Structures are given as C-alpha cells and as structure tokens.
Amino acid sequence: MSEIIRAGNLRGIVMRAPNMTSTVKFYEDSWGLTVAKQVEGLTYLRGTGREPFIYALKDGKDYGIEYIHMGMPDRAGIEALHAQVVAKGAHVLGSPAVFDDVIGGYGFEMLDPDFRRLRFTCELDMLEPVERYAYPQKITHVVLNTPDMEGVEAWYRDVLGFRVSDYSANEMVFLRAAADVADGADHHCIALVRAPYASVNHVAFETGSINAYMRSIGRMRQNGTVPSWGPGRHGPGDNCFAYFVSPSGFVIEFTSEVQKIDEMTHEPQVWPRDNPEKMDQWMTAGPPTPAQRTIMMGRPDPGFPPAKAE
C-alpha cells in the first residue's frame, strides 16, 4: 500500500459576507494587512511574508468561506494529490489547470464534507518579504465548526493526509498538514469544533515574537478595538492568543509561538476542558464568555453544494 500524499501548507483564506470589501480600512489601519490586489467585489490582503495574499474580502449574499487556500510544492505534487482525492471519491471541481484569476497559480479545487471549497496551488508569483515589526506575517490556522466532527476529521486524514496533533476533550480536534519548514509543522493549520452547523469559528494570524504579539494587541487598542478574549496562552498548541471581532462579525486572532511538531516523536493527547490551567496556561483570559462562544459559533455557512459549485 502506497503512503498517503499529504496536503501542503496553509496559504490563506477568502472570506465572504455582505459588503465585505467596505471593511478594508479596518484590516489596513488596525489589523495591519496591506492591499495586494483588488477587483470588483474582491480585495486580496497580504501580510509581511511572501504569500501573494493571506486574507481576502469578498462581497457576497451570505456569510462564510469562499475558499481555503493551500499549497503544494510543484505540479507533480498537485497532480499526485489530485489523483489521490479522485481515487478516494472526493468531490473534485475539475482537473489541475492554471487559474485565470488575478492570483493565478496551477492547481485544482475540491469540496470537503461540509461543502467548503479548498483550493490547492503551486507556481504563484511570490512577494518579497516586508520588514515590519508586529504586523501579521501569515495565517497559521483556520478553525471550522462542523456538525460531524468525527466524520470530517476522518475525511481530512484519509483523503488529504492530515494528522491529529491533539484533542480538546471531545469537543475539538487539531489537525496538521505536511511540514513546509525545517523545524516541523505548525501544531495545527485546520481545527474542527463540534457544532450544530457548519460555519467558520475563527482565523489566526501569526505576528512573530511574543513581544510583537503584545505590540499588535497594543496597536488594536490604540485604534479603539480591544480583545474579546485574551491575551492568554492555550494548552493545545502552546500558542499565545488574543481574539477580536471584525466589522463583519468574523472572529480573528493574533497568535505567536505556535508549537512545532516533531513528526517522529509526537503523540496526540486529550486536553481537559474543565481545568482552567490547561485551557489558558497564563490564566489571564479565563474561559470564553457565553457571548464569545456565540460569536465563534458564527452564522451557518451554506458552502458550495455540488449543484451550486458547478
């Protein structure tokens, strides 16, 4: 039996909401992203790293994810992954090809079990990094609410080669993709939360050092926005966290010092949710309030059922 091909690194995400592009100034002036490209009804925002965009704002009729953007190293990787997901019966939206939008690249799209669209690419026009202290560098993880946590977890493992890093009781699972850096993979790039419907829970942005992370929180405060939860430090993933609510109602997070996984030695564990120190090692944030849990539940995301997607 051949070894399963693993999906590559998380590149970014395109979010969709009514009048979403009207919130660009918040992401530029407060959150710290820069406009990379704009077309009618769609704005791509870059961080300080090399990705052509890490977060994008798309005007739409409903609230949700337009697509999650992931990378593969080259065309051979794209084609091998495509063959694997087709063989496993996943819903694929076409053969590998060059995308004709302003981001471009070579790749393909598919749907996960909750009808979320996933795009895999290589051969993008990468950017020169920007030296800018305490500004978002990349997207580290996307957290998804799902009514079938076990089923969706199994799909990401079996179809795309994700691996489990940890569990938060029986309410959350942290999944990592293939490592794209020498010091190991981030603890998670996708996490799943048990929920009554599919929606986006939150998106996390890497700020750099812990000092840069705190300075990022300070910049938000100076611009009149305080965290809705945090600062604190999670147990699973060992990362610092500070959550904010965007003007469109999506939850976004500043994070730092995410655990790197040693693939040879790591063993998943189940973290308890009834021990405050395991939820927040610093015990500065406390548990999320009912209001925070509600906003992280998000609005139901209809996604792209096959008839709509095609």
Q: pLDDT over 70 for what percent of the chain?
A: 97
What mean pLDDT is predicted for residues 142-165? 98
Residues 126, 51 contacting (CB under 8 angstroms): yes
Confidence class for position 297, pLDDT limits 50, 70, 90: very high
> Distance (Å, rounded) from C-alpha 44 to C-alpha 13?
10
DSSP structure string for 65-86:
EEEEEEE-SSHHHHHHHHHHHH
Confidence class for position 306, pLDDT limits 50, 70, 90: confident
How high is the mean pLDDT of the chain? Answer: 95
In order of 14, 18, 227, the CA distances from 210 in angstroms are: 27, 34, 16
Q: Which domains are delineated in the chain? A: 10-129 (3.10.180.10), 138-297 (3.10.180.10)
Confidence class for position 184, pLDDT limits 50, 70, 90: confident
Confidence class for position 157, pLDDT limits 50, 70, 90: very high
- What is the structure's pLDDT at 180? 53
- What is the structure's pLDDT at 4? 94
Residues 139, 55 contacting (CB under 8 angstroms): yes
Tell which residue, 70, 76, 74, has the closest CA to residue 112.
Answer: 70
Confidence class for position 179, pLDDT limits 50, 70, 90: low
Q: Is the pLDDT of residue 247 over 70?
A: yes
Residue 295 sits at φ, ψ, to 5 deg, of -70, -30
Task: Give the contacts of 298 (CB within 8 A, at least 6 positions apart).
Answer: 63, 145, 199, 200, 201, 250, 251
- What is the structure's pLDDT at 309? 56
pLDDT in tens, 248-286: 999 999 999 999 999 889 999 999 999 989 999 999 998
- pTM summary value: 0.96
